[in-house]
Amino acid sequence: MRQPEARLRKLEMCNGAGDIPVWCEDPADMGMAIDAMIANGDILENDRHRCVYWQDCKCPPGKHERRLAELT
């Protein structure tokens, strides 16, 4: 099983603000996306409050575009 801490470190590298970007198409789907991340062991339940919709995440310019390219 994958360690949540390792996945969390990768997510946090996006911004340095401690926010965890949630990559979903619609902000209304965030709850389901966060539930899936927890179920997959990507993050822990106590990290839920740190989750932010990816467009609201404070990332340096260009980060969103690079992340979207990785997803497609």
Of 24 and 13, the one with more pLDDT:
24
The pLDDT of residue 6 is above 80: no
Of 46 and 19, the one with more pLDDT:
46
Contact 64, 54 (CB under 8 A): yes
Of 23, 9, 17, residue with least CA distance to 59 = 17
Can you tell me the mean pLDDT for 54-62? 69
Rounded Cα–Cα distance for residues 13 and 32 (Å) = 23
The pLDDT of residue 15 is above 80: no
Can you tell me the mean pLDDT for 20-34? 91
pLDDT band of residue 20 (cuts 50, 70, 90) is confident
